[in-house]
A and B are shown apart, each in its own frame.
Chain A
Amino acid sequence: MRVKVISIPVQDQQKALDFYTGKLGFIKKHDVPLSGNDRWLTVVAKEEPDGAEILLEPSPNHLEAASTYQKALFNAGIPYTQFDVDNVEEEYQRLTGLGVAFSVKPTEMGTVKIAVLDDTCGNHIQLVEML
């Protein structure tokens, strides 16, 4: 058993692809047309092209419960998931320079430093640097 794909719910797949590749720096791995405008759309980290894929999943558009859950998390400021970075402060400076909004600025919390950004597709995403 292996971890191959994890999903992040997004309200607009094309907008999500633009954000996750253009701003966060992931690269597109798979883009397969499904029914309607839906796609099997995954991205991977540049440093780990054979690592786990992130599925940008349009579930909030098809299931009310998914949409409700996503909105509840977002309104509470809770990150949907988190990504490891080498330096939170540098990523914060780089991403704010690209216009990315942060709900939590770089903050030390014990043995980690964290920051939380808005992915513009309905989610907060946490960046983590182990200190």
Chain B
Amino acid sequence: MTFYQQEINRIRSTVYSNDAHLIAVIRTRRFINDNFEKELNLEQLAQAGLTSKFHLLRLFKKYYGQTPKQYLTHKRIVQSIACLKGGMTVTDTCFSVGFECPSSFSTLFKQKTGLPPAEFQKKQFSQSVLTPI
């Protein structure tokens, strides 16, 4: 057995030994992945993870390094990038990934990617035109 395999086993037994916790957070993350475009609240996520709201908050942060809300935002932004690259308008993108307000979507998008959605899309288009065949 290599050093790395020993380390995998050590970390699994020390950090990831609680199966019930893992099942709760993995179920919650999958629920977000499958429903990110809908309006989601912590109560729904706790039901999906079969645990209490505040317990879920602590567990999700512990195992994924971010809160469920932060992960949901990340998931929506990633999806919005794909929509914008595909040519969807900024407003349609905003609503299709689950944001309710185009201005807050633009603010969040800029925070995460460095550019507002319209500029991001424009840059993508100019890059694809400039890329030699």
In chain A, positions 23-56 with a C-beta closer than 8 Å to chain B are: 50
Cβ contact within 8 Å between A103 and B22? no
A107 within 8 A of B: yes
Cβ contact within 8 Å between A110 and B4? no
Give A57-96 as 1s and 0s: 1 = Cβ < 8 Å from B's Cβ atoms.
Answer: 0000000000000000001111100000000000000000
B125 within 8 A of A: no
Give A106-118 as 1s and 0s: 1 = Cβ < 8 Å from B's Cβ atoms.
Answer: 0101110010100
A6 within 8 A of B: no
Query: Interface residue tally of chain B, by bracket?
Result: 10 to 19
A5 within 8 A of B: no
A104 within 8 A of B: yes
Residues of A close to B15: CB separation below 8 A: 110
Cβ contact within 8 Å between B26 and A109? no
- Check A111/B25 contact, CB under 8 A, given A76-B2, A76-B3, A103-B2: yes
Cβ contact within 8 Å between A77 and B12? no
How far, in Å, is A127 (CB) from chain B's closest CB?
Answer: 14
A131 within 8 A of B: yes
Cβ contact within 8 Å between B5 and A104? yes
In the bound complex, CA of A78 to CA of B63 (Å): 23
Residues of A close to B3: CB separation below 8 A: 76-78
Closest to A49 in B: B131
B42 within 8 A of A: no
Residues of B close to A78: CB separation below 8 A: 2-4
In the bound complex, CA of A76 to CA of B11 (Å): 16
Residues of B close to A50: CB separation below 8 A: 127, 131
Cβ contact within 8 Å between B4 and A76? yes
B54 within 8 A of A: no
In chain B, positions 25-54 with a C-beta closer than 8 Å to chain A are: 25-26, 29
Give B77-99 as 1s and 0s: 1 = Cβ < 8 Å from A's Cβ atoms.
Answer: 00000000000000000000000
Cβ contact within 8 Å between B16 and A79? no
In the bound complex, CA of A76 to CA of B8 (Å): 12
Cβ contact within 8 Å between B11 and A109? yes
Residues of A close to B4: CB separation below 8 A: 76-79, 103-104, 116, 124
Residues of A close to B29: CB separation below 8 A: 111, 130-131
Q: What are the 3 tightest A-B residue pairs by CB atom distance, in nearest-first order? A: A77-B2, A110-B16, A77-B4
- 5 A-B residue pairs with CB within 8 Å: A103-B2, A104-B4, A104-B8, A109-B11, A111-B29
With A78-B4, A104-B4, A110-B63 known, 7 other A-B pairs at CB within 8 A are A50-B127, A78-B3, A103-B2, A110-B12, A111-B16, A111-B63, A131-B26
